[in-house]
Amino acid sequence: MRGFNGKSLVDEWAAEQSDTSSAHLSRVLTYVNDGILDIASRHGWKTHRRKGKKILTASAEEQELKTTAPTAPSVAVSSGGSLTDATVFNVYVTYVDSNGYETPAGTASANVTTATPNLQIDVTSIPVSPEPLVTARNLYLQKASGNILYSQQVADNTTTTATIDEEPTDSDVTARPPEYDQIRKLDGDPFFEGSPELQLVNRTIDQMRYLHKGSFSDGTPQIYGLITDTNLLLNPRPSSALTLSYYYFKRPPMVTYQTTSIPDLIPELKPLLRFYVMMRGFEFRDRNGAVSKYNQYEAMVLEYISRFGQRRDGRKIVSDRVGDSDGYETTSL
């Protein structure tokens, strides 16, 4: 059996399509990443469930769960390194948390131009995130307005300096920053941890506005409404920078053409991902049967959700409990 990694999957499926040219390998890698994202969006796969935390903005009724992308670092060239001479570079930063969640690239640094012997970039004022789960920052380098390529990781949330003294190779092996936020949607109601723990109650935006006309008062939020999948309306507004906890489904990161790049899918979904890649190959070559392949893929998605999408694997019991008006039990175990 071939390996379940970016390089092995691309090599295997490009060979099945009888085209192992560099151009087609790159194309199949795109299909693989598109397929992973599509499969992840079809169901709340339990392997994609993560616990997040967000520091709320005091006195703001709208709160965004997504981590704000970093501001620009400061950059300057210095003696040493092996960057291309007489070339303009920019540096970008992303935040990375303990769940593997990575923000899209932040604001670009100012332009900096190399000139022998100054062929390295000293990066200072690397942004530090206030969010409690952020554990690292990734640095990306852009050469002459080209692709933004992974350079290195600052493996903490305190260090503010780094040196970039060599260029990453612009290829399918090199990681790029995420092009989209990795929080797909909430899983259940958000809550405040503490003593006692407080779980927020979901209401529609219309109902919240009808019951509480005008500006909301400050306090500890009790109810919330979904403005978008990651943007919440809170009432009361947080009176201070409270930390909100929540569970969410994570969008998988992109895989690269490397044996160390493992798709964020359970291996049992490999046949489903393969079928997606084959379907895209039919579509690209405008072969007869492309529509049939699409319909087969749609049916296969439902089959695999039925087989592997079960949410709970623990012991199942029937119990008699007194529930509240929303159907939640109120009697403690």
Three-state DSSP string of the chain: CCCCCHHHHHHHHHHHCCCCCHHHHHHHHHHHHHHHHHHHHCCCCHHHEEEEEEECCCCCCEEECCCCCCCCCEEEEECECCCCCCCEEEEEEEEEECCCCECCCCCCCCCEECECCECEEEEECCCCCCCCCEEEEEEEEEECCCCEEEEEEECCCCCCCEEECCCCCCCCCCCCCCCCCCEEEECCCCEECCCCCEECEECCHHHHHHHCCCCCCEECCCEEEECCCCEEEEECEECCCCEEEEEEEECCCCCCCCCCCCCCCCHHHHHHHHHHHHHHHHHHCCCCCHHHHHHHHHHHHHHHHHHHCCCCCCCCCCCCCCECCCCCECCCC
pLDDT of the residue at 286 = 74
Give the start-to-end residue ranges of the domains of the chain. 6-45+265-308, 51-66+193-249, 74-164
How far CA 238 is from CA of 42, 53, 227, in Å, comes to 34, 15, 17
pLDDT of the residue at 322 = 58
pTM (two decimals): 0.87
Segments in the chain below pLDDT 70: 1-2, 195, 311-333
pLDDT of the residue at 332 = 43
pLDDT of the residue at 3 = 84
Helix axes 22-41, 270-284, angle to 10 degrees: 130
pLDDT of the residue at 289 = 76
Residue 74: beta bridge partners? 124
Do residues 238 and 19 make contact, with C-beta atoms less than 8 angstroms apart?
no
User: Which tens digit of pLDDT belongs to each residue from 129-164?
Assistant: 999 999 999 999 999 999 999 999 999 999 999 999
pLDDT of the residue at 328 = 55
pLDDT of the residue at 285 = 81
Q: What is the Cα–Cα distance from 109 to 92, expressed in whole angstroms?
A: 6
What single-letter amino acid sits at 152?
Answer: Q
Q: What is the Cα–Cα distance from 127 to 160, expressed in whole angstroms?
A: 7
For 235, phi and psi rounded to 5 degrees?
Answer: -140, 125
